[in-house]
Amino acid sequence: MSERWRNWAGDVSCRPRRIVAPATVEEIVSEVRATDAIRVAGAGHSFSPLVATDGVLLRLDAMDRVLDVRRHADGTASVRVQAGIRLQRLSDELDRHGLALPNLGDIDVQSLAGAVATGTHGTGARLLPLHAQIESIELVDGAGMQCTLEAPGELHAARLALGALGVVTALTLRCVPAFTLRGVDQPHDLATTLARLDELTAANEHFELFVFPHASKAITRTNTRVDDVPEPPGRATAFARDIVLANGALEAVSRVGRARPAWIPSMNRFATWAAGSQVRVDRSDRVFASPRHVRFRETEWAVPKAAAARTVRDMLAAATRHAVNFPLELRFGAADDTLLSPAYGRETAYISAHVFRGMPVEPFFDEVQAIALHHDGRPHWGKRHGLTAADLRARYPGWEAFAALRDRVDPDRRFANVHLERVLGA
């Protein structure tokens, strides 16, 4: 019997015909030409069933090297990287060259190709998602041919493609000189913070907040570039802060809330109080990302930035009705020109809602989706949502241009699965 594949959250699984771990582009070409159904798995951090297949599943873990670094006069560099490299290892390799990615999300265990294919982003009202740094994409298309996409029209479509255009083998990214961040987490009054979002996002290069249902305070996070030398914590300090206090406390509070739903309001207020304040000064990627060991399910919606406060208030009200004991997260991004980017053409607020494992998901996520759609929301491609291609087409002005590129590079839909047929059409 073939091996079963599961995602990180454990709620999506499949039993492919074969799981293959190619180490070369030639092996990928051979696999593509030999099968009519193929998908690629990264680290499995998507909550949507993007990877699930009964055909061939490729794992690109062996293709994880930095291939070339070309420096530019302005201090930036074009870095060619194999698609299977994990973001954490990529950051380590870039640091050896005195380079960094300009922005990252709060998890860095994803594969590079998987992260850009689903629209992974950090926060910063003037900053773009990870996929916007791509200068060229090398892939094996539906005919088993190697090709490089680098013309602007192609890149606008291919940077975020859900794995629907082929097997990405390498990407070239524009990177910046390495920098240090000072990260500050502090509790602040929720109502006041929501009223000051424009001010806070303008004053801070990276601003976000977390807020538990039933809590009157939000935990705000600001990351600011500084000239200081990084001060990484010792192993004991990092373990106590990130594993014991952050993940351990959240796991304990979530378990209590799952067992005693009537206690959730008081437990959520306690979790906000226990989070307290902290300051970190470290290498940029280490401040951006944090360990995530507590398992949950997630939906995320991108709404116009002007609708951020209203949407958060509406989603918090829904969370209190559904006994949710996990926080909402609010982040920001600049307008993007990638055709399927949730931030396409508009300044954006990203709002994530989470449910602890073992607790009811659908009623709450359904209401969150209805709220997001009311505020002109677009779903994060790697998170849970219930929309179809018919729903999504109207929300993306560049939909037909993306479909045209897909028809050209994979006319036989060799890289499709049930989920892609739902969200992109057959």
- Quick one: CA torsion of 249, 255, 256, 259, rounded to 10 degrees? 180
**Lookup result for tokens 């009223």:** 195
The beta strands (E) that lie in 141-216 are given as 146-149, 167-177, 180-189, 206-211
Kindly state whether residues 193 and 342 are assigned to the same domain: yes
Last residue of a domain, one of 147, 178, 209: 178
Is-contact 325 207, C-beta < 8 A?
no
The predicted structure's pLDDT at residue 174: 98
Kindly state whether residues 185 and 331 are assigned to the same domain: yes
The predicted structure's pLDDT at residue 250: 84
The predicted structure's pLDDT at residue 1: 55
* Phi (first) and psi of residue 268, to 5 degrees: -65, -40
DSSP 133: G
The predicted structure's pLDDT at residue 246: 63
CATH of the domain at 70: 3.30.465.10
pTM of this structure = 0.95
- Position 426 in a domain: no
Tokens representing 230?
């990084």
* Phi (first) and psi of residue 127, to 5 degrees: -115, 155
Kindly state whether residues 157 and 248 are assigned to the same domain: no
- Position 42 in a domain: no
Last residue of a domain, one of 154, 178, 202: 178
- Position 339 in a domain: yes
- Position 250 in a domain: yes
- Position 254 in a domain: yes
Kindly state whether residues 171 and 186 are assigned to the same domain: no
Straight-line distance from the first to the last Cα atom of the chain, in angstroms, rounded to the nearest whole number: 30
User: How many helices (H) and strands (E) are present in the chain, helices listed first?
Assistant: 15, 19
- Position 5 in a domain: no
Kindly state whether residues 171 and 251 are assigned to the same domain: no
Specify the amino acid at residue 39. R
Kindly state whether residues 86 and 114 are assigned to the same domain: yes
225-283: pLDDT as tens digits = 999 998 887 664 544 455 445 677 788 888 998 999 999 999 889 888 888 889 999 99
The predicted structure's pLDDT at residue 235: 61
- Position 369 in a domain: yes
Tokens representing 320?
């209190």
Beta-strand relationship, 278-283 and 167-177: unpaired
Kindly state whether residues 203 and 164 are assigned to the same domain: no
User: In which residue ranges of the chain is pLDDT below 50?
Assistant: 236, 238-240, 243-244
Is-contact 120 130, C-beta < 8 A?
yes
Kindly state whether residues 169 and 278 are assigned to the same domain: no
- Determine the Cα angle at 42 with ends 7 and 53, to 5°: 60
CATH of the domain at 278: 3.40.462.10
Kindly state whether residues 99 and 226 are assigned to the same domain: no
Is-contact 220 193, C-beta < 8 A?
yes
Last residue of a domain, one of 158, 178, 198: 178
Residue 191 and residue 330: Cα distance in Å, rounded?
A: 14
Kindly state whether residues 172 and 184 are assigned to the same domain: no
Is-contact 330 351, C-beta < 8 A?
yes
Kindly state whether residues 160 and 184 are assigned to the same domain: no
Domain count, the chain: 2
Q: Which domain holds residue 137?
A: 66-178
Instruction: Provide the H-helix boundaries in 204-353.
Output: 235-238, 249-259, 264-275, 284-288, 308-321
Residue 382 and residue 117: Cα distance in Å, rounded?
A: 9
Residue 96 and residue 78: Cα distance in Å, rounded?
A: 15
